[in-house]
Structures are given as C-alpha cells and as structure tokens.
Amino acid sequence: MMAILIAGIVMLVGVIAIFLITGWLISGAKPVESAESVTARLYKVRGRYFLLLMAVLVIMLSVTLSNLPYRSQVAVEPEYIVPVSGRIWYWEIGPIQDRDGNPLQAGSGPMVLPLGKPLEFQVTAEDVNHGFGVYDEAGQLIVQTQAMPGYVNKLVHTFTEPGEYHVLCMEYCGIAHHSMVTTITVE
C-alpha cells in the first residue's frame, strides 16, 4: 500500500515537472531559424561529441585493456592438467595429471587441486553446451569457460587461496541444470 502511494507521488511530481519544463521551454522559444543554419550548427555539435566520445573510449581502453585475462592465459605454462566434462546433469572432473600424463591423485577420492600451481582445465561436454564456472567460498566467480561437445576449451588458473570451491553450470542445459554443482578442494 505504502509503495503504491510513494509510486503515485513520484509520478505526480514527475508529471508536474514535465509540464513546468515544457512551459519554460515554450516561453523561452526564439523565432524560427532556417533549416540550413540549424543543420550546420547541429553537425558541428555532433562532430565535437564524436571526437569527445572517441577520446573517452581511447582513454578507457588504454587504462583497462591490460586487465583483460587473455594475456595471462598465454604467458603461464601449466604444471597440471585437469580434465573437465559436463554432462546432463553432473560434472566429471579429473583425474588431475602432470604434463606427461601421470596422474597426481590415485583412486577416485574427493577432488583436491594443488594450491599455487598453474592448472590447465581442459573443458568439454558430452551432450549439450554447459558452462563451467568456478566460484569461491564467498560465491564470487573466479574463472569460467564454455563446456561444448566436440571442443576442448583450455582455461589456465592458479589458485592463490586454499579452501572449498564450487563448480556450477553457467549455461541453462535442461530441467536439472541447477543441480550441476560439485565441490573441489584446493590445498
């Protein structure tokens, strides 16, 4: 009830403001100018806005481009390979292996990834597209890539904090998409 009242008051104030501004604009209107001079003036304004916009874009790009993660993906040599496969509706992760293909972990215990080592997740899917997203304990997304049938997407990441991480599916893949959750331990 209160929200409706507030919305009504906001709308009323808005309508009155539009009337007042319109009235003020009409009262201050000058005699009609020729179309040519208006066009020329507006083109000049548009040209200046374009240059301003370009300058803002160039500055923003030069400040932020170096923060893109792509370079770090190329520069780091992974120490371990972590195969990941998305299926309807679960994840198969591991076995983690070194670069020569020797498994790091024996058996099929809980997934434990080494802390502070560059890992290459090799992400694929068996059936439909899934999204491989790794979240920390606070629920913040750490890394993600697409899991696609017929492709292996490589994602290099070094965990810098020990703890429990959650893998969630980030691409709607059917009725039990929400249950595609698993946990990996980093230590």
Return the sign of the alpha-carbon dihedral for residues 155, 159, 162, 165.
Answer: negative
Which range touches Cu ion (CB under 5 A), out of 41-49, 136-144, 146-154, 172-180? 172-180
From residue 72, give the alpha-carbon distance in Å to each of 83, 98, 158, 168, 185.
20, 20, 10, 23, 23
Q: Is 43 helix (H, G, I), strand (E, B) or coil?
A: helix
Quick one: 96 exposed, middle or buried, by C-beta within 10 A (0-12, 13-18, 19+)? buried
Decide: is 81 part of the binding site for Cu ion (CB under 5 A).
no
Least distance in Å: CB of 89 to Cu ion?
Answer: 7
Least distance in Å: CB of 139 to Cu ion?
Answer: 17
Say which residues have a Cβ less than 8 Å from residue 76's Cβ, sequence separation at least 6: 118, 156, 158
Decide: is 117 part of the binding site for Cu ion (CB under 5 A).
no
Q: How far apart are CA 38 and CA 169, in angstroms?
A: 55
Least distance in Å: CB of 170 to Cu ion?
Answer: 7
**Closer residue to Cu ion in complex, CB, 87/177:** 177
Decide: is 169 part of the binding site for Cu ion (CB under 5 A).
yes
**Closer residue to Cu ion in complex, CB, 78/86:** 86
The helix (run of H) or strand (run of E) holding residue 57 is helix 35-64
Using alpha carbons only, give the angle 64, 66, 72 rounded to the nearest 5 degrees.
Answer: 135
Q: Which of 95, 117, 177, 182 binds Cu ion (CB under 5 A)?
A: 177
Least distance in Å: CB of 176 to Cu ion?
Answer: 8
Decide: is 173 part of the binding site for Cu ion (CB under 5 A).
yes
Residues 125-154 that bind Cu ion (CB under 5 A): 130
**Closer residue to Cu ion in complex, CB, 126/187:** 126
Q: How far apart are CA 187 and CA 181, in angstroms?
A: 20
**Closer residue to Cu ion in complex, CB, 94/133:** 133
**Closer residue to Cu ion in complex, CB, 166/177:** 177
Question: Which residues of this protein are in contact with Cu ion, per CB under 5 A?
Answer: 130, 169, 173, 177
